[in-house]
Structure 1
Amino acid sequence: MLGPISRPSKFAPRGLPLQRSAAAQFDEVVAIEVTRLEKRLPQVIARVEFAIEDVPNLEIDATEIPLTHATGGTSHEPYRIVVFRRPIELRAERSGSSLSWLVRSALVLELADVLALSPEQIDPDFDPEGD
């Protein structure tokens, strides 16, 4: 039996998805967190490019799965921080953490690492144990 939400209507026109994909939802969470950091540190975030990939490209003998990866950061090129969607989603599900908190933590820790700052300098509200 089809329910009202599964049928085309003026609220869900034919050809449009009734629900956003997990990837689209994740992209929105990352965009919100980057915007939040950009408001706090506009001069720092202006030197950083952000990207999202589904999974990292790992070596066969890798023992850890990263949540983010940073490259670049020379005088001629900006830092590039890649956020890996599936590892973050899976860790959020397993730990019961909110997705936005985990994305925020991963971004703050990666930015602190590449800029040689403390996480609290990047985000004064940073709480590694918080949720």
Structure 2
Amino acid sequence: MSDGVDDVRPRTRDRRGRGMRGPGVLPAVPGTPALRTARQRFDQLVLDVVTPLDERWHRHLGLVEYAVEDTPMLPDDWGDETVPLSSLVRGKGQAPTRLVIFRRPIEHRASTRDELEAMVHTVVVEQLAELLNLAPGQVDERYGDDD
């Protein structure tokens, strides 16, 4: 028989079996999220692809705005056509050219992180090639190596 001292267990926060309470990962800098969302990771991926290409071709491209949107706005009568992965609107006058990458259609087609990176690279290179009136292989020699 015990004297009761050994039977006292420290109380845990998992009283009802719901798991740990609070964040699983503490941020390195207080007030900032420790983990990025899927949208933030995709935005960073697009930025990593666009930056070297834009630096290389900036003199020929002029002012280009790059954007990421979740999905394209399609008309009701779109039908069974495939959903676009990007949109390129050429600038007129003072309006800059705008290249929009659609996140969800690209993520839907890629099953791994490597496929996602390759698909974003391919889409951006093809759109810039169209804008420059060049073959995609001329815009980036790595084009075609992503497949």
TM range (shorter): 0.7 to 0.9
Distance in 1, Cα, partners of 2:92 & 2:33:
42
- RMSD of aligned residue pairs (Cα, Å): 2.6
Give the structure with higher Rg (CA): 2
SS of the residue corresponding to residue 108 of structure 1 reads helix
* Within-5 A mapping of 1:1-131: 1-2=19-20, 6=24, 8=26, 11=28, 13=30, 15-62=31-78, 63-93=81-111, 98-127=115-144, 130-131=146-147
**Residue type at the aligned position of 1:23:** R
Give 1:45 deviation, angstroms.
4.3
Distance in 2, Cα, partners of 1:28 & 1:97:
14
TM-score scaled by structure 2? 0.72
Task: Tell me if the contact between 2:91 and 2:98 (Cα under 8 Å) persists in the aligned partners.
Answer: yes
Task: Give the helix-richer structure, 1 or 2.
Answer: 1
**Residue type at the aligned position of 2:131:** V
Unaligned runs of 5+ in 2: 1-18
Please list every run of at least 4 consecutive aligned residues from structure 1 whose deviation after the TM superposition is greater than 4 angstroms: none
Give 1:60 deviation, angstroms.
2.1
Greater relative contact order structure (CA < 8 Å, 6+ sep): 1
TM-score scaled by structure 1? 0.80
Q: What is the count of residue pairs matched by the alignment?
A: 127
Task: Tell me if the contact between 2:61 and 2:132 (Cα under 8 Å) persists in the aligned partners.
Answer: no
Task: Tell me if the contact between 2:65 and 2:97 (Cα under 8 Å) persists in the aligned partners.
Answer: yes
SS of the residue corresponding to residue 109 of structure 2 reads helix
Unaligned runs of 5+ in 1: none
Distance in 1, Cα, partners of 2:90 & 2:56:
22
